[in-house]
Structure 1
Amino acid sequence: MAAVLALTPILIAIVLLLLKQSSWIAALAGAVVAAAVVALAFPTPTSVLVESGVDYFPLILEVALILLFGMVLARLLESAGSMSEISAWVESLSPSRPLGVALVVFGIVPFAESVTGFGIGVTIGVPILRHLGCTLRQSAILGLLGLIAVPWGALGPGTTVAAALAGFDVDELGLSTAWLNAIPVVIVTIAVIAIMRPGFTSALGTIGSAGLMWSGILAASCVIGMAPAGIIGSLIVILVVGGLFIVRKRSTGFTARLGTAVLPYGALTIGLLLARALHSALPSLLTEIIASPPFWLAAACLIAAVTVDDRRRVSFAAARSWVPIGVGTAAFMLMGWIMTTTGMSEAIGAMLPAGLVLLTPWLNAVGAVLTGSNTGANSMFTGTLTAVASSSHVAALPVVAAGNAAGSLAALAAPPRVAMAVQMADARAPASARDIAWVQGRALTVSGINALVMGLWIQFFV
């Protein structure tokens, strides 16, 4: 009976999402029900809640600020025309459609997503793909496949949440996720080649781009840490592949406008790396704040705002758009904290047959499709994943990392994100239901295959 009650908050949230309620409504309802279930069946000493909350609640604030400044930055860059400048640069240098697609899918979309999150990479990538000559459907699904670095999207709040709930060091979980992210990278690479059907040379270029991104993220995770790994890995693809394009074209294509467009990205990347090095050398509360992702996202916003005339209106509009997202994310995090701290997640984990860890990636995949983010999925299911790993006598770290990677890729199949991608592919007319269904089916297929392979991997090889 206790296990069924423990499952109630998640079921309430899922039912509300299936009924097309906003994610923040579903999240708040889940958090309220979780608190009620604690009072009924999972009494927890106040001292335990206070001790855990002191460590966890600052994380909720940090994630909320990352989401806020990420949204503001995306809106400012859009208003400044920065995205259009970057798109024009790619279009002018790409020697062929498949190689241009490889640069977008494994470089530009992951880079934008790693910096700002919220599927912003799709809004940049899909128009570029259309200009490269891809069909509407191709552009939409390829743009979604570019969300291959979501564990590090918006500097990794979803991965940070999973680490906090499971009791892992965030860089340790980031590194484990980077290793396992080889599986979604391989699946996405196969999907891109199947869609584009490139020649031998272009296929090698696609495979090379995917390998560069994965190895770059892995190396950055080893040497620097989780937060900037997605930025660095995708930036390596842009520099190497873009550099080869420049050599072939014998022209850089760089202009003053392009330099202005990429300046906020550069300041964010370099500033974050230098600040993390400073904090490692001189650890203190001040250097910890300076090395935090929200600090440098805010700095990037200030730089981007210089070139925007109506910066105040744009910033306020972004802040208003952030409110439901911020509330929903915070509520999901609160629900996850309540369930993990009070033993509810452990009770749910006990309901699953011991030893069947292959099911765990599916939990996060379903959660990500419903909530549209790995943060929401990790908030709901990380505690359950660790409980299943414990009952199955398996190390929890790879199980949580596999769930993180599976849920992150599955976020591309969230219905609102699919509809957005299709609409971005042709902004002149309302998105066609048939086009949305076509893209949705393929996005779910890719996500399902990834969850299946990920589950089999941790079941038999971990």
Structure 2
Amino acid sequence: MPLFWSALPVLAVIAALLLGMRSLHAAMAGVVLSAIGMALAFPLGADAAMQAVMAWLPVMVEVLLIVGGGLLLSEALRAAGAQKALAQWILGQTGHGVGAVLLVVHGVTPFTESLTGFGIGITIGIPLLVHCGLPARKVAVIGLLGLCAVPWGSMGPGTLIAATMAGLPLDALGLASAYVSVIPFVVTGVVAAWMASPAGERPRAVMQGALSGLLLTVAVGFFNATVGTPPAGALGALAMVVLHLWLGRRAARPAGLAALEPLGRRALCAYGVLLAGVLLAGVAVRVLHLPAAWRMLASPALWLFMATVFFTRSIPPRRVLGGAFRSWMLVAPVTGLFIAMGVMMAVSGMAAQLAHALASGGRWYLFAAPFVGALGGFVTGSNAGANAMFAATQAEIAQALNVSVLPFMAVHNVSAALLLMGSPGKIEMACQLAPPQALTERRWIQLAVLAIDLFAVALMAVINLFL
């Protein structure tokens, strides 16, 4: 019976989404069933419940503020025409549709996501893809594929959680995760290039996408080995941005930054305020050893709003605030409910029960393990949340099966991060950022992203079995 109640919320959410139910309704069902399961089979004491609330409520509030800030910045740039100006400049720099798409998927989005986290990378990447002439549903899918470097998202707190729970050095797990990430990097590059190219040019585009994925792997691995895990994703993605812009300049011989309209330059400056604010404030918080309450100074939640004010040069206009708020009301409840469901399953022991039940199959669990991690990422929409749910249990199972913990946990970490792009909250956000037609094709987008993700997870499962 405990196994039934531990599996029911997850199975119910998956079934609801596959049947085409709204993400909000699926999330509500998952939370209600988790609460029932806790009451009937996984009772939690009042003290433990209060500790969980005190630990996770600030995290949830910060995540929702970051989502709101990202949507507000995106709406301000869109309404002013800055996104269009910036996108046209990028297209001019790259000189080829596939090059522009790969610049976003392996450069712009991972760079922003590594610095900010919580899916904010797509609030910059998708608006750029809108101007590439692709159908709305392809814009949403390709935009989500940019969330391929999430183990380093927000400077790697999810990887830090996994390393701590498994008793591994952070940089060792980060470097091993970089090696494993060759699979999602190449898969996302190939799929994005295939979707963005005409039928007759797909063989060349696919090779271009695969090479881009391999180079991103080398870049992230190099910086992970030389400067450590936290900045490795941002530096590796920045190297890819520079590479794709350089290749585009060789192909198209553009006029350079001088060709960028003033609005586009202001947009770049706003992004600079965001990224510099997060980096410099983070350094200040660590160097000065400021109390935990001061950590919000380095949060993307603050600097997204600061970047918006910098761009608009005042409080954003009412129409911008209204548009961002309407989008936030569609995204925030879904995101918050799924975080709540993941926390309920983790603190009550439901997640551990589910993982241990799957481990009863012996060494064949090595094949199933990446899917367990992926399930955590799908349910919580967060690498940190997925690792909070499953990392300790996965490490225990690896030791029980007498396999090397480091490669096992690297596969788990990357798998848990990968399904974030297919989580209902991120799908909802992508549909809000893409052209309006994407809202009517939400189910197709969800299934397409899940199919791509599960293919990559299956490849990692085969590697896990042989490792």
Distance 1:2 1:374, change over 3 A: same
State the Cα distance separating 1:395 from its structure 2 match.
Answer: 6.2
Could you list the per-position Cα deviations for residues 418-437 of structure 1 after superposition, in whole angstroms to 9, with x for gaps in the alignment?
A: 8998999987x89998x996
- Note if contact 1:155-1:293 (Cα within 8 Å) is conserved in structure 2: no
Residue equivalent to 1:452: 458
- Per-residue deviation, 1:315: 2.3
Shift in CA distance, 403/146, structure 1 to aligned 2, threshold 3 Å? same
1:266 is matched by which residue type in structure 2? G
Question: What is the rounded CA distance, in whole Å, between the counterparts of 1:153 and 1:364 in structure 2?
Answer: 17
Hey, what does 1:242 align to over in structure 2? 245
Aligned amino acid, residue 264 of structure 1:
A
Residue 447 (structure 1) shift: 2.4
2:362 matched residue in structure 1:
354
CA separation in 2, counterparts of 1:322 and 1:278? 30
Q: 1:302 and 2:309 equivalent?
A: yes
Aligned amino acid, residue 345 of structure 1: A
Decide whether the 8 Å contact of 1:279 with 1:288 is kept in 2.
yes
With over 3 angstroms needed to count, the CA separation of the structure-2 counterparts of 1:220 and 1:274, relative to structure 1, is farther
Cα distance per residue 1:84-143 (max 9 Å; x no partner): 12211122223444444432432234446555637435633433432xxx7899777655
1:253-264 matches, within 5 Å, as: 253-254=257-258, 255=260, 256-264=262-270
Q: Indicate which of 245, 248, 255 corresponds to 1:251.
A: 255
For each residue in 1:264-319, what CA deviation from the matched residue of structure 2 results, as whole angstroms up to 9, or x when unmatched?
A: 21111122222222223211126533222322223222223328962x33223323
The answer to whether the 8 Å contact 1:333/1:376 transfers is yes
Task: For 1:70 and 1:269, locate their aligned partners in 2 and report how far apart those are by CA, in whole Å.
Answer: 13
Q: Distance in 2 between matches of 1:333 and 1:431?
A: 23
% identical equivalent positions: 30
Residues 250 and 331 of structure 1: CA distance in aligned 2, closer, same or farther (over 3 Å): closer
- The equivalent of 2:61 in structure 1 is 61
* Contact map agreement 1:121 1:146 (CA 8 A) in 2: no
Amino acid at match of 1:296: W
User: Is the contact between residue 339 and residue 383 of structure 1 (CA under 8 Å) also seen in structure 2?
Assistant: no
- Is 1:187 matched with 2:187? yes
Residues 338, 381 of structure 2: 8 Å contact kept: no
Q: 1:300 to 1:227 in 2, by over 3 A?
A: farther
- Write the deviation string for residues 309-358 of structure 1: whole angstroms up to 9, x where unpaired: 62x33223323322343222222222222222222222112221233122
Distance 1:177 1:448 in 2: 18
Q: Which residue of 1 aligns with 2:73?
A: 73
Q: In structure 2, what is the Cα distance between the partners aligned to 1:304 and 1:7?
A: 47
State the partner residue of 2:415: 406
The correspondence for 1:328, drawn from 334, 345, 352, is 334
CA gap 1:68/1:454 in 2 versus in 1, 3 angstroms: same
Rounded Cα–Cα distance in structure 1 between residues aligned with 2:330 and 2:167: 28
Q: 1:436-451 residue pairs with structure 2 within 5 A?
A: 443=449, 445-451=451-457
Instruction: Specify the SS of the correspondent of 2:255.
Output: coil
TM-score of the pair, normalised by structure 2: 0.77
Q: Secondary structure at the match of 2:148?
A: helix
Structure-2 residue corresponding to 1:278: 284
1:291 corresponds to 2:304: no
Does the 8 Å contact 1:111/1:230 carry over to 2?
yes
The Cα offsets for residues 373-404 of structure 1, whole Å up to 9 and x where unpaired, read as: 76786677667655654653556665555345
Q: TM-score, normalised by structure 1?
A: 0.77
Cα distance, 1:145 vs structure 2: 3.9
Q: Give CA-to-partner distance per residue, 1:229-278, whole Å, 9 cap, x none.
A: 54443332222331344466263143333221111211111222222222
Q: 2-side partners of 1:381 and 1:5: how far apart? A: 17
> In the TM superposition, what is the alpha-carbon distance from 1:199 to its structure 2 partner?
10
Once residues 60 and 172 of structure 1 are traced to their aligned partners in structure 2, the CA distance between those partners, rounded to angstroms, is 29
Are 2:323 and 1:317 equivalent residues in the alignment? yes
Amino acid at match of 2:127: I
CA-CA distance at 1:450 after TM superposition: 0.7
Give the aligned residue type for 1:402: V
* 5+ long unaligned stretches in structure 1: none
* Equivalent residues of 2:126, 2:140 under 8 A apart: no
Aligned CA distance change for structure 1 residues 54 and 142 (closer, same or farther; 3 Å): closer
**Superposed counterparts of 1:223-242, under 5 Å:** 230-242=233-245
Cα distance change on mapping 1:378 and 1:271 into 2, 3 Å: same
Q: CA 1:416–1:203 in structure 2 vs 1: closer, same or farther (change >3 Å)? A: same
Q: 1:431 to 1:386 in 2, by over 3 A?
A: same
Q: What displacement does 1:451 show?
A: 1.0
Residue correspondence of structure 1 range 85-96 to structure 2 within 5 A: 85-96=85-96
* SS in structure 2 of the partner of residue 258 of structure 1: helix
Q: Mark the CA change 1:284 to 1:432 in structure 2 (over 3 Å): closer, same or farther.
A: closer
C-alpha distance 79-111 of structure 1, shift in aligned 2 (>3 A): farther
> Unaligned 5+ residue runs, structure 2?
none
RMSD of equivalent CA atoms: 4.4
Indicate the SS of the match to 1:148: coil
CA contact (8 A) 2:355 2:393 kept: yes
1:395–1:240 Cα change, 3 Å: same
Residue 392 (1) aligns with residue 401 (2): yes
1:8 aligns to 2:26 (yes or no): no
1-structure distance, mates of 2:27, 2:68: 18
